[in-house]
Amino acid sequence: MTVETGSGPTPPRLVTLSVEELHASLTDPALESMNLLNEIAARFPDAVSFAAGRPYEGFYDIEDVHRYLRTFWSYLVEERGHDAERATRLLFQYGRTKGVIHELIAGQLAVDEGITTDPEDIVVTVGAQEAMFLTLRALRSDDRDRLLSVSPMYVGVTGAARLVDLPVVGVTAGADGVDLADLAAKAERVRAAGHRPRALYLVPDFSNPTGISLPLGTRRRLLDLADRLDLLILEDNPYGIFAHGERRMPTLKSLDHRDRVVYLGSFAKTSLPGARVGFVVAGQRVTDAAGADRGSFADQLSKIKSMVTVNTSPLAQAVVAGQLLANKGSLVAASTAEQLVYRHNMRQLLDGLARRFPDPHAAGVSWNNPSGGFFVTLTVPFPADDLALADSARRYGVLWIPMHHFYEAPGGLHQIRLSCSCLNPADIDEGLDRLAAFVTGRGRKGEPG
């Protein structure tokens, strides 16, 4: 910290802070990359954006907020037997750190996911991001700790890890979402270096950023391997509900009979981001050196939460709960309209790519075919870096995210993430025309990027 002399008539000496004396995360590329991408997006407001992973907005209606609040109020009074005073206190006052809609969330997990959980093992959080942050804060005890994460990975996990000084070791995703041989090798390498792999983070369903899902066999083998490696699994599942068709893949949590899995849930994509409500299921028992029970892992996360956000806004929880109640406790039922939109958009994106690149091999491009979620990985025959993105935005009017931002180490330089979640059909077509022109033009010129 230094004191500078200003230039006013009565010179005020203003305090300035030195960024080098602030926490190292603040100069880390992981926390800078989203800013950089947002800046590019802001400079080209008329570009079609395949970059934004926001949920579809077309069904949002402010009157629903009032309706959901009234639905939750009725539930408290009529089903839970609260008088008006108690119901008001629950919504207005400080409250239970672990949240007030934990029973409804446990019910939703049972109905939609086949997950059986004690509501006491749930901590309702300010979005899944806080759930992730609390989990990493709890797990990072000293300099030896490491987080394994399937790579490429969601920037939120990298950023949260930076905030608690927890180094992240990437594990290859491969074609099946996680390369189990690489996972075993990385865990052993971490241990051989005297470090401790605390957990593996992944998004098993329609991963952000790749769109890849783990096949059923891989899920089972991953759980077995985690047992052998003595690893926790952090399963982040914001997109699983948006599978095309009736059959969804079982979550790792629903296949887990040994409390291997800490499950991170989000209502941002199924309900609304503006409530900022997510949760973590963490039923693992915690003991001390004497073998005494110290409660559940959820209880530990709750203690940390009490010093980060105290509790999640019960008004915001009420909005989410009202929507659940209005749909018989099911998020699948609550989001049927959105599911159709995402399915149609994904179909249009994939078909549109196929139409514009009838001979992908000749064009040097390829893409995967997710059967749900928001994201597609497109591989291109040139370095898809930030300069290429700026060129795409300026000259072709189309935005996307360079995949290299999702890697811990150099990687993904020829890949881009395409998102189709918040676009309408006309924009997808227009955007694909522009994208194809950009890819073809740049591919032909063989520009180094």
Q: Which residues within the stretch 41-100 sit at the binding site for its own copies (CB under 8 A)?
A: 54-55, 57, 60-62, 65-66, 69, 73, 84-85, 87-89, 91-95
Select the span of 25-33, 114-122, 171-179, 352-360 touching its own copies (CB under 8 A): 25-33
Q: Least distance (Å) from its own copies to the CB of residue 25?
A: 7
Among 104, 109, 122, 139, binds its own copies (CB under 8 A): 139
Alpha-carbon gap, residue 326 to 333, rounded angstroms: 9
Q: Least distance (Å) from its own copies to the CB of residue 158?
A: 9
Shorter beta-carbon distance to its own copies: residue 193 or 310: 310
Count, residues near its own copies per rule CB under 8 A:
96
Q: Least distance (Å) from its own copies to the CB of residue 107?
A: 23
Shorter beta-carbon distance to its own copies: residue 154 or 367: 154
Alpha-carbon gap, residue 20 to 39, rounded angstroms: 23
Alpha-carbon gap, residue 411 to 318, rounded angstroms: 42
Radius of gyration of the chain (CA): 23
Q: Least distance (Å) from its own copies to the CB of residue 401?
A: 15
Give, as ranges, the residues between 155 and 194 that touch its own copies (CB under 8 A).
156, 159-160, 162-164
Contacts of 154 (CB under 8 A, 6+ apart): 203, 207, 208, 209, 236, 406
Among 311, 335, 377, 421, binds its own copies (CB under 8 A): 311
Q: Least distance (Å) from its own copies to the CB of residue 23?
A: 5
Shorter beta-carbon distance to its own copies: residue 100 or 202: 100
Q: Least distance (Å) from its own copies to the CB of residue 86?
A: 10
Please give the structure tokens belonging to residue 195: 């470090």
Alpha-carbon gap, residue 445 to 184, rounded angstroms: 41
Q: Least distance (Å) from its own copies to the CB of residue 87?
A: 7
Name the nearest CA neighbour of 264 among 98, 123, 419: 123
How would you label 358-395 residue by residue, b for 16+ Cβ within 10 Å and e otherwise? eeeeebbbbbeebbbbbbbbbbbebebbbebbebbbee
In this structure, the strands spanning 196-202 and 168-172 are: unpaired
Q: Least distance (Å) from its own copies to the CB of residue 146?
A: 13
> If binding is defined by CB under 8 A, does position 195 make contact with its own copies?
no
How large is the angle between the packed helices 336-356 and 425-445, nearest 10 degrees? 30
Shorter beta-carbon distance to its own copies: residue 247 or 257: 257
Shorter beta-carbon distance to its own copies: residue 60 or 444: 60
Please give the structure tokens belonging to residue 26: 């603040």
Among 116, 141, 336, 369, binds its own copies (CB under 8 A): 141
CB 106 within 8 A of CB 261: no
Select the span of 111-119, 307-315, 365-373, 427-435 touching its own copies (CB under 8 A): 307-315
Among 242, 279, 297, 438, binds its own copies (CB under 8 A): 297
Q: What x-and-dash track marks residues 318-357 binding its own copies by CB under 8 A?
A: -x--------------------------------------
SS3 196: strand
> If binding is defined by CB under 8 A, does position 26 make contact with its own copies?
yes
- CA 372-147-28 angle, 5° bins: 90
Alpha-carbon gap, residue 305 to 434, rounded angstroms: 45
CB 71 within 8 A of CB 104: no
Among 80, 189, 303, 394, binds its own copies (CB under 8 A): 303
Q: Least distance (Å) from its own copies to the CB of residue 286?
A: 5
Give, as ranges, the residues between 271 and 290 that touch its own copies (CB under 8 A).
272-277, 284-289
Q: Least distance (Å) from its own copies to the CB of residue 57?
A: 6
DSSP 243: B
> If binding is defined by CB under 8 A, does position 260 make contact with its own copies?
yes
DSSP 274: G
Token pair 């077995």: residue:
224
CB 415 within 8 A of CB 372: no
Length of the chain: 449
Give, as ranges, the residues between 352 and 381 that touch its own copies (CB under 8 A).
none
> If binding is defined by CB under 8 A, does position 424 make contact with its own copies?
no
- CA 158-163-168 angle, 5° bins: 35
SS3 1: coil
> If binding is defined by CB under 8 A, does position 138 make contact with its own copies?
yes
